[in-house]
Chains A and B, each alone.
Chain A
Amino acid sequence: MSTSLIRPRLLLALALLGVGAGLSVAAWNGPSDAMLVPRVVLSIWCLVAVLIAVTELVKGAPTVALSFSPLPLLMMAVLAAALAMKHIGFLLPSLPLVALTLWLFRVRRPLPLMLATTLIAGGLWFLFHHVLLIRLPSLLTSGVV
């Protein structure tokens, strides 16, 4: 299954221009002394982004055929795990994330998958949180998990 996407480089340049413009609005609405440098930097950002967008438009960068990729799945899992860490601690979101990463990188036999998940996620968490006492986000206030 493949679909065609319209000029991803142009879209990226426009997206960056949009972000720069949005931040510029915030900078111009903020206190002038604290926002002096941000205003200058964001003006350069917007100007450069416009130039890049025009260049990409003129160049007519080729369209890219998108095929099915597991990458968005990994990206979403990484983001979900990062968001969950604040609420359910480090260990619980790490286990499925490591299992999924291993699976996507073709470690699919059940025993190595389970052992590696336990060792990489659980082992590193135990090493840092309990042995080296580098405190990672916890589920319980006591910090045990």
Chain B
Amino acid sequence: MDVILAAVGDAVAWKVLVAIVVGTWAGIIIGGLPGLGSVVGLTIFLPFTFGMDTIMSMALLIGVYCGSVYGGSITAILINTPGTPQSAATTFDGYPMTQQGRVDEALGWATFASFFGGVLSCVLLIFCAPQLARFAVNFGSIEVFALVCLAMLCIVGVSQGSVLKGLLCGMMGFVFSMVGSDSITGADRFTFGSYALSSGFDLIPVVVGTFALSEVFMRLADRDDKAANIPEASLRFPHPREILRRLIELIRGSFIGSFIGALPGTGAATSAFISYAVAQKLSPRRSRLGKGEPDGIIASESSNNAVTGSSFIPTLALGIPGDVVTAMMMGAMVIHGITPGVRLMVDQAQTVYALFVVLIIVNVAMLVLSKPSIGLFRYLFKLPRGYVMAGIVMFCFIGAVSVRGNPLDAVVAALTGMLAYALRCGGYPLAPLVIGMVLGPQLESSLRRGLLIERGDFLGFFTHSGIATTLFVLIGLFLIWTLWSSLARRRAGPTCRSDLSHSINR
């Protein structure tokens, strides 16, 4: 108890609070700018921490990380351009709500769900970190394969009305992720002898091209269309009665995010897609998902922000960074004298608990700072459209080339933007392209490792472990459910059929 009280004392020191406010606010702004995500944010702020003490420096970086994950949702909702890949699933319902004139409600739900997911994952982190870490190590390649297959099901959900086109876009995203050196054999794939292509395509250039650049092209093509105007950003928090009505969705999304975050190598984007896929099956308002339903925003935002807390579980408890962002955070911890691993909770308990408290304060700060941050975006988007569009083009290029320092990524962003524009005009949903690119590498590597474990016997996957069997049964049930509900809709007549692709495409 003394340790916890001392940790709280460390976390509420005024210098730490200032670092939290600065980091969180900067993170929200950076996350909201297309192409600049958590990695760029942490890269910018890491050098500033060298002169700070451990808790203060980690508070600044945690603020940037959590803020940037939330910030990505703002532009996803306002201009159909997710600031970060983690917020790609937020566009499914966020942008349709904006088109319906419900931008304040959409931003309110995104903010509250982010706060809820973040805080719940912190609580889980405090009480269940060791247990979750132990459970997470039971997830081998075959279990991860089953989990990713489950997430892939959301391609069907976001492509209603054009499932074939959604499937084709999903395959395209999958193929994009295969370009470059094969991670297992090292053989070049689809490089056509080009050395530049051997490093493959990064996710950020593809996302900024798919959503942001194609949006600029779309707005130039539709420049006389009033619907193409950028809405005035405002925020209205949901009424407590509304929160209670959707409490199950909030808790479900947060739990999914907390669990996925604890698995090394998954990340917030995967978690958001899995949570959205589950909401498509379990939400009582699932028939409205994709057409401007807050449950879609809740599923995506509560889940991706829950990852921010739980991603520290494998990092702190096992010393395994789950993704690039947590690897950077781990590097920063080592620089500041925190050595992640199984001995951490014994050797540096006070520091670890102080970090947990910092995480909770960051989420509260995010809630408080959301209004002024959105106010800044409102000011930016009040500028004539030309300035905003030119700024988006520049941020796309900066985001694309700064991730790996590879100028080829700018070309990838430009070409993806042109392809995405053509696909939008052809009625193809874009979301599956990003889903394929995010989940494809995990699906492939887990499948191939699983085949090595099972000595080439794919049927062995289904009986490999209790977790794998449960997940495959769930997939089977979801597929039957999808088929049954689509048949039921067809029997009910064309009036009940949703035209999701339209809302996603525009």
B393/A97 in contact, CB under 8 A: yes
- B172 contacts the other chain (Cβ, under 8 Å)? yes
A34/B189 in contact, CB under 8 A: yes
Over the window 436-458 of chain B, the binary record of Cβ atoms lying under 8 Å from chain A Cβ atoms (1 yes, 0 no) is 00000000100110000000000
Over the window 90-109 of chain A, the binary record of Cβ atoms lying under 8 Å from chain B Cβ atoms (1 yes, 0 no) is 10001001100110111100
> In the complex where A26-B192, A37-B178 touch, is A124 in contact with B395 (Cβ < 8 A)?
yes
- A57 contacts the other chain (Cβ, under 8 Å)? no
B contact residues, total (Cβ < 8 Å)? 59
Which of B213, B221, B386, B423 makes the CB contact (< 8 A) with A106? B386
B390/A48 in contact, CB under 8 A: no
Contacts of B393 in A (CB 8 A): 78, 97-98, 101
Chain B residues 425 to 472 lying within 8 A of chain A, measured CB to CB, are 425-427, 444, 447-448
Over the window 407-428 of chain B, the binary record of Cβ atoms lying under 8 Å from chain A Cβ atoms (1 yes, 0 no) is 1101101110110011101110
Stretch at the interface among B79-87, B179-187, B279-287: B179-187
B426/A8 in contact, CB under 8 A: yes
B401/A79 in contact, CB under 8 A: no
Tell me the dominant secondary structure on chain B's binding face.
helix
Q: Which of A33, A83, A101 has the most CB of B within 10 A?
A: A101
- B276 contacts the other chain (Cβ, under 8 Å)? no
B47/A133 in contact, CB under 8 A: yes
Alpha-carbon distance A136/B6, docked complex (angstroms): 44
Over the window 194-238 of chain B, the binary record of Cβ atoms lying under 8 Å from chain A Cβ atoms (1 yes, 0 no) is 000000000000000000010011001101000000000000000
Over the window 72-97 of chain A, the binary record of Cβ atoms lying under 8 Å from chain B Cβ atoms (1 yes, 0 no) is 00110011011101100010001001
- B174 contacts the other chain (Cβ, under 8 Å)? yes
> In the complex where A75-B217, A82-B397, A136-B402 touch, is A44 in contact with B185 (Cβ < 8 A)?
no
- A21 contacts the other chain (Cβ, under 8 Å)? no
Alpha-carbon distance A99/B425, docked complex (angstroms): 26
A121/B178 in contact, CB under 8 A: no
- B138 contacts the other chain (Cβ, under 8 Å)? no
What 7 A-B pairs have minimum CB-CB distances, sorted nearest first? A105-B386, A86-B407, A107-B386, A82-B410, A34-B187, A82-B414, A34-B182
Q: List residues of A whose CB falls within 8 A of some B CB.
A: 8-9, 12-13, 16, 20, 23, 26-27, 30-31, 33-38, 41-42, 44-45, 48-49, 51-52, 55, 69-71, 74-75, 78-79, 81-83, 85-86, 90, 94, 97-98, 101-102, 104-107, 116-117, 120-121, 124, 128, 132-137
List 8 interface pairs A-B (beta carbons < 8 Å), by A numbering: A8-B426, A33-B185, A37-B448, A44-B167, A82-B410, A82-B414, A85-B410, A120-B387
